[in-house]
Amino acid sequence: MDSIRTKETWNVTATILDGKALSEEMRAEMALEAAEFIQDSGVVPCLAAVLVGDDPASEIYVRNKQRACDRMGIESKLNRLPEDTSMDELLTVVNRLNRDNDVHGILVQLPLPKGLDETRILRAVSPMKDVDAFHPENVGLIVQNRPRFLPCTPAGIQQMLIRKNIEIAGAHVVVVGRSDIVGKPMGIILMQRGAGADATVTVCHSRTRNLPEVCRSADILIVAIGRTKFVTADMVKPGATVIDVGMNRDENGLCGDVDFAAVKEVAGAITPVPGGVGPLTITMLLQNTLTAAKLQLTS
């Protein structure tokens, strides 16, 4: 049976998909694009982040995004609000940023403190400034294959597959996880017609039957389930490409949703954690901000 393998039959050495190096390459390209846009238009793209409370992980994420903006030559603004901010106060900040013509992209850092309605807040962000692509209007455009912006993590994964010459057209892609941020849009993007897509996609979740068997059928396995080292070597087809979106912590530090040490002996290519998908997520946020500035200049 396909599920019964010995290590001797794998004979696969995985290529490590270095997201950090790829993101640096892409950001260098984008910096040139941004510089040309600024010179031609006189407009400096600006990303405004909204950070509510003092969650340590969110602090790190926002700081990394600000640094990335600075290196690319675009402006960043941080709107820091206290933990006890009310819905009305937060909506007031979002509405002010919507009206600010010098702000082109708005990022509301998630998760928000308890008591704040994330869905309502994300819906309040102008679709033209929604560089996370969470607004229902932008989600609808993605489904129709005419996106204004693509969600940052799925877009980064797609770029990695394209730039690493991993065949997507005709491949069976299995996505483990059905979140609105990664799983659902990832499946939609890769099943569309066109370059970097045309895959056959299966989206799995906690109620999927025979999950290990479904995972073993994947040519490309994308794991975004939020469970430490959930995917093990016996769940991976030899030679498959494995994309680990997870960011967890165990006794040895940061780790993903995939048992990297074991799975790299089976997979054809695999992303590490850290240094895989994460840097590309920020890169695509910068790309969306630049795109937003261009769109608002011509609208």
**Catalytic residue set:** 65, 109, 132
Structure-token pair, residue 38: 């600024």
How far lies 187's CA from each of 43, 182, 273, in Å? 35, 9, 22
Q: Quick one: which of 124, 175, 126 has its CA closest to 153?
A: 175
Q: Quick one: which of 86, 182, 198, 65 has its CA closest to 134?
A: 182
Structure-token pair, residue 34: 């941004």
Distance CA 275, CA 23 (A): 10
Q: Quick one: which of 154, 251, 132, 233 has its CA closest to 199?
A: 154
Distance CA 115, CA 294 (A): 36
